Amino acid sequence: MGKPTGFLEYQRKEAPAFSVSQRIQNYNEFHKPLDEAAQKQQAARCMACGVPFCQSGMMLGGMLSGCPLGNLIPEWNDLLYRGAWKQAYDRLRLTNNFPEFTSRVCPALCEKACTCGAEGDPVTVRNNEYAIVERAYAEGYAKAQPPKVRTGKRVAVIGSGPAGLAAADQLNRRGHAVTVYERSDRVGGLLMYGIPNMKLEKSVIERRVAVMKEEGVEFRTNVNVGKDISAEAITDGYDAVILACGASRPRDIQAEGRDAKGIYFAVDFLTSTTRALLDSGLAEGSYISAKDKNVMVIGGGDTGNDCVGTCVRHGARSVLQLEMMPKLPDTRAGNNPWPQWPRVCKTDYGQEEAIAVYGSDPRVYQTTVKEFLKDEDGNVKGAVLVKLQAVRDEATGRMSMQPIEHSESTVEVELVLIAAGFLGSESEVTSAFGVATDARTNVAGIDGSHRTSVENIFTAGDMHSGQSLVVRAIRDGRDCAREVDESLMGYSNL
């Protein structure tokens, strides 16, 4: 381990965020990294536990605990503390293809399972990871390393989100010729257009994609497989195909007046902002704008929070965020012990900014929309809200949120963003390739594998397992790549 008494001597110190008034003036990342000495002190707090829950990736209490990538966290924390930056990067890259992504957008399951966090503050694992990978780019050793031998096998990856990119990276390292197809105009999938620039600057994605291109991965954008090119052309031209198109079918809200203009899915709203930011610097009229509008965000997850933060930057008049479920406790409940994922209330950056700008928390719990109100031109102008309560079904014993009679209220709103999650994969690609899907429309893997019902076609990421985290998508892409490699070569060293 680094310093045996480090966790006793040093207090947790995170990379400080810029003030709200500063950061809402632009769409840039807003944390200032620690200096080298302070970062080493933070790495010194790692205890090199006999049982490092931080890297366990186990399901505990129905939730994931620890890093699903199995990152060698105590090892690279020790190397960081000792100033062995390149060796730390090498250990980090053994298990994680894209630490520059996860150190920005992962909810840090590792930290929630850190032993230091059982009775105190966990190690700043994510900040340490960020410091290691950014140093690697700054000093030039996060450079392209093309494979020395090619196998002669060709693999097509459909979708360039985290799972598709991870699978492509692994298979290219093995020596296979990999082509990634992306229907959008830029590589990255969820990373590019589903996550705002202030959480993940798009130059970070482009930087890694440039390395992958130099290593031999081919990217074809603006190609909608199944429409622009047939599934048959793909299967005939490649030895294996990986479907990694995500779980991009959004969950809708069924309420009277849903057809009103001014109601959008969150992913379309976020995409329009990011695309306009990259294409024109947010030229007026080039994106769905919240400027001077009363906005209602339906959904309390990460995507809902991203919508709140984006609306604040647009200059919204007000922002209201609806959450169907009750507010979580501020501290762990007795039935949610460490190292389980802490089911506690978290105030994220978007809510923090809304509180500072508008003077109150935008979240309203146990509430949903009963009706959308329209003006004479069909634009949304308000919403009738209704309070919810948990009710147990006597037949099944299950709890569900049901409306409370006479609890309606009306709010003024000119823009509605639906961030209620995703239902599964879209049917265009699955139908084109003829692969079997499960009840949630995810592509079904045979006997728990990444193999689909069609020979030589595999699946990975959210398209395989349903909506999840970037870090889980990377792991699934890596696992899928190993199965593809075994099918092509008869064995795998991935």
Q: Which amino acid, residue 309?
A: G
d(CA 108, CA 54): 9
Instruction: Please tell me the pTM assigned to this model.
Output: 0.96
210 vs 75, 106, 207, 476, CA distance in Å?
A: 28, 22, 5, 23
Could you tell me if 40 and 27 are in contact, meaning their C-beta atoms sit under 8 angstroms apart? no
Could you tell me if 461 and 479 are in contact, meaning their C-beta atoms sit under 8 angstroms apart? no
pLDDT of residue 203: 98
pLDDT of residue 423: 87
Among residues 104, 95, 51, the alpha carbon closest in space to that of 76 is found at 95
d(CA 217, CA 175): 10
d(CA 80, CA 364): 43
Q: Is the peptide bond before 339 cis (omega within 30 degrees of 0)?
A: yes
Give every strand in the sheet of 218-220, ordered side by side: 218-220, 177-181, 154-158, 240-243, 457-459
Could you tell me if 336 and 61 are in contact, meaning their C-beta atoms sit under 8 angstroms apart? yes
pLDDT of residue 82: 96
- Give the pLDDT of the chain (494 residues) as one tens digit per residue: 678 899 999 999 999 999 999 999 999 999 999 999 999 999 999 988 988 999 999 999 889 999 999 999 999 999 999 999 999 999 999 999 999 999 999 999 999 999 999 989 999 999 999 999 999 999 999 999 999 999 999 999 999 999 999 999 999 999 999 999 999 999 999 999 999 999 999 999 999 999 999 999 999 999 999 999 999 999 999 999 999 999 988 999 999 999 999 999 999 999 999 999 999 999 999 999 999 999 999 999 999 999 999 999 999 999 999 999 999 999 999 999 999 999 999 999 999 999 999 999 999 999 999 999 999 999 999 999 999 999 998 888 899 999 999 999 999 999 999 999 998 888 899 999 999 999 888 999 999 999 999 999 999 999 999 999 999 999 999 999 999 999 999 999 99
Could you tell me if 202 and 166 are in contact, meaning their C-beta atoms sit under 8 angstroms apart? no
Residue with tokens 């490092």: 52
pLDDT of residue 156: 98
| Domains defined along the chain, listed by start | 6-139 (1.10.1060.10), 154-248+423-489 (3.50.50.60), 252-420 (3.50.50.60)
Among residues 366, 342, 344, 362, the alpha carbon closest in space to that of 352 is found at 362
Could you tell me if 74 and 53 are in contact, meaning their C-beta atoms sit under 8 angstroms apart? no
Among residues 202, 208, 161, the alpha carbon closest in space to that of 184 is found at 161
Q: Is 117 helix (H, G, I), strand (E, B) or coil?
A: helix
Cα torsion 321, 327, 328, 329: sign: positive
- Structure-derived torsion over alpha carbons of residues 148, 153, 154, 158, reported in degrees to the nearest 10: -90
Backbone torsions φ then ψ of 229, nearest 5 degrees: -145, 140
Q: How many helices (DSSP H) and strands (DSSP E) are in the chain?
A: 17, 18
pLDDT of residue 394: 86
